[in-house]
Amino acid sequence: MTPGVRPLVAGNWKMNGLSAALGEIQAMREAVDQGAAGLAELAVCPPATLLAPAAARLAGGALALGAQDCHAQPSGAFTGDISAPMLKDIGCAYVIVGHSERRAGHAETDAQVRAKAEAAIRAGLTAIVCVGETHEEREAGREAEIVGGQVKASLPSVASALTLVVAYEPIWAIGTGVTPTAANVAEMHGAIRGWLVGLYGEAGASVRILYGGSVKASNAKEFLGLPNVDGALVGGASLKASDFVAIAATYA
């Protein structure tokens, strides 16, 4: 945790969820409105097809809505893409950009991720920018070099705690059930904090840094209490309201 910073627990549903799953979002909203996340902010990022109906269910409540990607342009001839102003228009507060699955599966570069993050901020959204090393890179002792390079090349040129969240997600920990040690996470988050202060000055001291990769209720406490760990980005364990709320309850 960073003193004075409100933690964020964000759920990334990835390409999961049909209309029937809206009941889980409804249940999350009810739990959050009853105080289940304590001081923490909770956000859910369902697939694009569920954003509008989810927004209708979340109106007036404390559970925030986020998307999983956006285009760098506000509109135009980009078949199949969704812009940041469109996401803002339907009620999103957050958008994840640069997730490793998009960097790998859609060949997104640091420059593209930065452009998306800047587009998100221009539209009034908070960008959750993901960074993280592969298993091979960590084995080679290159994790700080890789993540530092991503931070410097994919974060927006201007940002504050209101417009930017960074998610450290070691790729080898995503969806594998394998996690880094608490010491590894604390070390990387400390390094990211230093880079953020280098980039943004005082504002960088309160940009939230989330840990992501196989977070579940049983290991959340271990990570969420670490210095410079200001919340979590949760994949698999965010699909069911009970699992997701149990993680957020670490802050209750």
Q: Which residues are catalytic?
A: 99, 169
Half-sphere exposure of 226 (CA within 13 A, CB side): 25
113 alpha carbon, distance to own chain's centre:
14
Nearer to ligand PGA, 213 or 231 (CB): 213
CB of 215 to ligand PGA, least distance (A): 5
Nearer to ligand PGA, 56 or 104 (CB): 104
For residues 125 to 164, the per-residue mask of contacts with ligand PGA, x marking binding by CB under 6 A and - elsewhere, is ----------------------------------------
Q: How many residues bind ligand PGA (CB under 6 A)?
A: 13
Pairing of β 94-97 and β 126-131 = parallel
Closest residue (Cβ) to ligand PGA? 235
- Distance, in Å, from the CA atom of 48 to the CA atom of 50, rounded to the nearest integer, reads 5
For residues 166 to 195, the per-residue mask of contacts with ligand PGA, x marking binding by CB under 6 A and - elsewhere, is ---x----xx--------------------
Nearer to ligand PGA, 85 or 235 (CB): 235
Nearer to ligand PGA, 200 or 214 (CB): 214
The Cβ of residue 113 has, within 10 Å, a number of other Cβ atoms equal to 25
- Distance, in Å, from the CA atom of 102 to the CA atom of 169, rounded to the nearest integer, reads 13
CB of 248 to ligand PGA, least distance (A): 14
How are the residues of the chain apportioned to helix, strand and coil, as percentages rounded to the nearest 5? 45, 15, 40
Contact 235, 14 (CB under 8 A): yes
Which region, judged by CB under 6 A, interacts with ligand PGA, from 59-67, 120-128, 199-207, 235-243?
235-243
Contact pick of 72, 131, 192, 233 for ligand PGA (by CB under 6 A): 233
Residues linked to residue 208 through DSSP beta bridges, in sequence order: 165
Q: Please identify which residue in the block is written with the tokens 């960073």.
A: 2
- Distance, in Å, from the CA atom of 238 to the CA atom of 25, rounded to the nearest integer, reads 10
- Distance, in Å, from the CA atom of 99 to the CA atom of 213, rounded to the nearest integer, reads 12
CB of 190 to ligand PGA, least distance (A): 21
For residues 211-230, which are near ligand PGA according to CB under 6 A?
A: 212-215
Site residues (vs ligand PGA, CB under 6 A): 12, 169, 174-175, 212-215, 233-237
